[in-house]
Structure 1
Amino acid sequence: MLQANQAQIMLQLQDNMNAKVNPDWLATRSPFLRAVVIEGAEAIEHHGWKWWKKQDCDLEQLQMELVDIWHFVLSELLLQENGEHAPAQAHVFAHIDETSLEFDGNTWQFSELNLLEKLELLIGLAAAKRTSIGLFSALLADCQMTWVDLYQQYVSKNVLNFFRQDNGYKQGTYRKVWGGREDNEHLVELMLDLDATSLSFQDDLYQALHQRYSQSK
Structure 2
Amino acid sequence: MLSSTQLATMLSLQDGMNKKVNPDWLNAGYAYLRAAMIESVEGIEHHGWKWWKAQQKDLPQLQMELVDIWHFALSDIIIGFKGDIQQSANTIAEQLASNRSQVTFDGKDYEFTKQDILDNLELMAGLCAAKRFDVPLFLKIVEQAEMDSDELYRQYVGKNVLNFFRQDHGYKAGTYQKIWNGREDNEHLVDVLSSLDINLSDYSDKVYAGLKHRYPQ
Residue in structure 1 matched with residue 34 of structure 2 by the alignment: 34
Please report how far the alpha carbon of residue 196 of structure 1 lies from its aligned counterpart in structure 2 after TM superposition.
5.3
Deviates more, 1:73-82 or 1:105-114: 105-114
- Deviation, 1:12, is 0.5
1:114-155 per-position Cα deviation (integer Å, ceiling 9, x unaligned): 101100111100010001011011111101111111111110
- Provide the secondary structure at the position in 2 that maps to 1:49: coil
Q: How many angstroms apart in 1 are the aligned matches of 2:170 and 2:197?
A: 26
Separation (CA, whole Å) in 2 of partners of 1:134 and 1:71: 16
Provide closer, same or farther for how the CA distance between residues 48 and 192 of structure 1 changes in structure 2, counting only shifts above 3 A: farther
Alpha-carbon distance change, 93 to 48 in structure 1, aligned in 2, over 3 angstroms: same
In angstroms, what is the RMSD of aligned CA positions?
A: 2.8
Equivalent residue of 1:65, what SS? helix
Greater shift in the superposed pair: 88-97 or 120-129? 88-97
Measured after TM superposition, the shift of residue 162 of structure 1 is 2.1
Q: Among residues 158, 161, 182, which one is paired with 2:160 in the alignment?
A: 158
Please report how far the alpha carbon of residue 186 of structure 1 lies from its aligned counterpart in structure 2 after TM superposition. Answer: 4.8
2:104 is matched with: 102
Matched, 1:92 2:92: yes
**Is the Cα–Cα contact under 8 Å of residues 160 and 206 in structure 1 kept in the other structure?**
no
User: Which amino acid in the other structure matches residue 195 of structure 1?
Assistant: L
What is the distance in 1 between the residues matched to 2:164 and 2:88? Answer: 23
* Cα deviation code 1:173-205 (max 9, x no counterpart): 699x98xxxx89757755665435375223324
- Listed as ranges, the matches of 1:63-142 within 5 Å are 63-96=63-96, 97-142=99-144
Q: Distance in 2 between matches of 1:205 and 1:51?
A: 43
Q: Is the 8 A contact 1:101 1:109 kept in 2?
A: yes
Specify the alignment match of 1:13 in structure 2: 13
Deviations, residues 25-49 of structure 1 (Å, cap 9, x unaligned): 0111311001101111221121112
Distance in 2 (alpha carbons) for counterparts of 1:188 and 1:47: 25
SS where residue 109 of structure 2 aligns?
strand
Q: Gaps spanning 5+ residues in structure 2: where?
A: none
2:188 & 2:125 partners in 1: Cα distance? Answer: 26
Equivalent residue in structure 2 for 1:201, among 186, 190, 207: 207
Q: Which moved more, 1:46-55 or 1:129-138?
A: 46-55
- Please say if 1:146 is aligned against 2:148: yes
Unaligned runs of 5+ in 1: 212-217
> 2: CA distance between counterparts of 1:7 and 1:193?
20
Whole-Å Cα distance in 1 between the matches of residues 82 and 131 of structure 2? 16
Does the aligned pair in 2 maintain the 1:100–1:108 contact within 8 Å?
A: yes
Match of 1:46 in 2: 46
Partner SS state of residue 45, structure 1: helix
Give aligned-pair identity as a percent: 43
Summarize the Cα distance change of 1:202–1:164 in structure 2 as closer, same or farther, 3 Å threshold.
Answer: closer
Residues 205 and 169 of structure 1, relative CA distance in 2, 3 Å threshold: closer
Cα distance between partner residues in 1 of 2:49 and 2:194: 32
**CA shift in 2, pair 1:142/1:54, >3 Å:** same
Amino acid at match of 2:210: D
